[in-house]
Amino acid sequence: MSADEVAVATVGNRAGTVTVRATDQGLPLAIHIDQRELRYGGTQLAASILEVCTRATAEAKVRRRADLTEQGVPAEVLDALGLPTRNELAAAAYQEDEEEAAPTSWMRQL
């Protein structure tokens, strides 16, 4: 990837019902919403889209960092740009999983 290209990542929610393709600048390029998500209402759907978009942006930033590292940009510069490492992204995801409340029931609606 050259310096003028945009890093892009596609991420979905756990159920795979909301998928967002976003740039490292946070611009969503594509959003896919499975019909099943519509039953939860607009507020919850919007929150889900924003959460997945944030994760896609973070993944794209990790890809941007990897590309710039390959081009010889020093780690201090990448840190100043706010580009996370793969390990930092994994640690943040683990922390989010730990803070997320467990479901009140494991039963699913058929």
pLDDT tens string 11-34:
999 899 999 999 999 999 999 999
Confidence (pLDDT) at 67: 95
Identify the three-state secondary structure at position 25: coil
Where the chain has pLDDT below 50, the residues are none
User: What percentage of residues in the chain have a pLDDT greater than 90?
Assistant: 71
Question: What is the predicted pLDDT for the residue at 93?
Answer: 80
Residue 19: both structure tokens together: 């998928």
Report the candidate in 59, 10, 6, 57 with the shortest Cα–Cα distance to residue 31: 10
Asked whether 33 and 39 are in contact (CB, 8 A), the reply is: no
